[in-house]
Structure 1
Amino acid sequence: MADDGVLDEGTETAALREVLAAEHAAVWGYGAVGAALPPDAREPVVAGDVAHRDVRDRLVALLDARGAEPVPREAGYTLPFPVLSPVDAAALAVVLEEGVSAAWVRLLDQATEPSVRELAVEELGAAEVRAVGWRAAAGRTPVTSAFPGLPR
């Protein structure tokens, strides 16, 4: 709250926009993940893509309701490494989920509204659940993170 009793949403709104940018990147990145997997192994890709599209749309609606301009998606994103195999695809999915997790943690730090905090906790947990499966598929250990979204 500002000194005049008015809720100050500037920082929270900026953090919401940052999460939206991360979700745009995840949606785009899941296309690269799916392209490197055989068709019979794409179920978790579809689930992750749908989850990120749904939350992206929720964030756009939330920002619109605040009168804030949603950050647009980029035409393309630079992959952090070549995705040439199913293991590479799983590793990319880990990067995507860890990226959105970090953005959700920053939102938790800036959130003032309880509903925004609840959304951030819910989505942070969902991203970590997806990341666990992808870490296992990429052969990474440990597969879980005690503090998802925070630097190791």
Structure 2
Amino acid sequence: MSETEGRRLDALQAALSAEHAAVYGYGVVGGRIGEERRTEARTAYDAHRARRDALAREVRDLGGEPVAAAAGYALPFSVPDSVAAVRLAAELEDRVAGVYSDLVRAAEGDRRASAAAALREAAVRAVRWRGGSVAFPGLAERAGTASGQDSAPGASAPSGSVPGASAPSGSVSATPTA
């Protein structure tokens, strides 16, 4: 495998890790979100599951073994209610967008187009959850904070990164837990 192919595989694995974390996170969101946004949360959950499955196939197609999901992930902040669940959903989308930004840089052709579409979808979902946008979705270093937005009161900084995610710009930082 060439160095370029290795970087692509690493970026795919990082995106797969991010999707595993997003699926887990949306499980928490779904359990706390108010009825008025439950359909939106379910749609996002399904989208992340579909992306996760597609990425696993792509990793296999490149001869890799898809990274497995952790049994659990540490959330970036406590999610006791619907307000926090909405904030978590926006954070999940910001972080996934960052990882797809890295994949766009590493990929070519159809894979790059697919990564760009995933980045756009995550950015749009983040805007819907947050009620506003950031200047450069997926590029946290341009926005001034680790996640690309100002932290909400009571939110702690991300606690780590998904194994295999090497880029500083947006790896989903839900840390696997035992």
TM-score (norm 1): 0.88
Where do 1:53-132 residues align within 5 Å? 53-111=49-107, 113-132=108-127
| Structure 2 residue identity aligned to 1:80 | P
| Structure 1 residue identity aligned to 2:124 | V
**Partners in 1 of 2:95 and 2:9 — Cα distance?**
18
| Structure 2 residue identity aligned to 1:101 | A
Where do 1:10-49 residues align within 5 Å? 10-49=6-45
- Number of matched residues? 140
| Structure 2 residue identity aligned to 1:126 | E
Deviation at 1:146, TM superposition (A): 2.4
Indicate the SS of the match to 1:77: strand
Cα RMSD of the aligned pairs, angstroms, is 1.3
Deviation at 1:39, TM superposition (A): 3.5
Indicate the SS of the match to 1:58: helix
Deviation at 1:85, TM superposition (A): 1.6
**Partners in 2 of 1:27 and 1:37 — Cα distance?**
15
Consecutive unaligned residues in structure 2, runs of 5 or more: 144-178
Work out whether 1:147 is the aligned partner of 2:119.
no
Deviation digits for residues 35-68 of structure 1 (CA, Å, limit 9, x no counterpart)? 1123443001100000000010000011111111
Deviating runs (4+, > 6 A) in structure 1? none
Deviation at 1:108, TM superposition (A): 1.2
Deviation at 1:83, TM superposition (A): 0.5
Indicate the SS of the match to 1:145: coil
Aligned-residue sequence identity (percent) comes to: 42
Indicate the SS of the match to 2:134: coil
Consecutive unaligned residues in structure 1, runs of 5 or more: 137-142
Deviation at 1:128, TM superposition (A): 0.7
